[in-house]
Amino acid sequence: MDITELILFQHEEQRRQFAVLDEIAGEGSEILGALWRRLAAFLEVHAEAEELYFYPEVLRLGHGAPGTHDGPEPETEDAIKDHNEIRDGIRTADANPVGSDGWWAGVRAARKANDEHMGEEEREDLADFRLHADLQTRHDIAVKFIAYEARHWAGIKPVDKDPEQYVEQHS
């Protein structure tokens, strides 16, 4: 296994699950709510697993986004900030009745934040890690990551992190 492949694959699954919500917009709140709950839990657990197992190793082994000389700190801060924005969108959706305008606004905010974040994460953090972490390390992180997700498949209580504090704690 390779954590960079696993994350990439899960991003595709997230895009697909958001697209499914478009398809079933008219199917009623019970179906919409069930599919949204699964996606929201997936997004939150994926972000938390990255914060627990991937980004500490990016800070340890990364050299920064390819083409820059900034080191891994700014790209990690960006990622944590993005994760907080994704969590914000989920919270907005969950504060509104499923299928209402407020709910869709939260879902769209989470989707937009996630789309922008995945692009950046793939271009910068995953690319940095492929260049600077060996395959055994990438395998070991993938195992911890997927085991965490399996243990928390039904979801977690999402916790925002202060990006600067996170980088300080893990540097």
Number of C-beta neighbours around residue 141 at 10 A: 26
Q: Which stretch binds Fe ion (CB under 5 A): 37-45, 46-54, 66-74, 150-158?
A: 46-54
Q: What residue spans of the chain are helical by DSSP H?
A: 3-23, 29-49, 55-61, 72-94, 101-120, 127-132, 135-151, 163-170
Q: Is 44 in the site for Fe ion (CB under 5 A)?
A: no
The contact mask relative to Fe ion for 99-128 (x = CB under 5 A, - = no) is: ----------------------x-------
Stretch near Fe ion under the rule CB under 5 A, chosen from 3-11, 17-25, 36-44, 65-73: 3-11
Size of the site for Fe ion (CB under 5 A): 3
Choose which of 48, 50, 73, 124 interacts with Fe ion (CB under 5 A). Answer: 50
125: tokens are 């953090």
Question: Cβ contacts of residue 166 below 8 Å, gap of 6+?
Answer: 51, 55, 76, 77, 80
What is the binding site for Fe ion (CB under 5 A)?
7, 50, 121
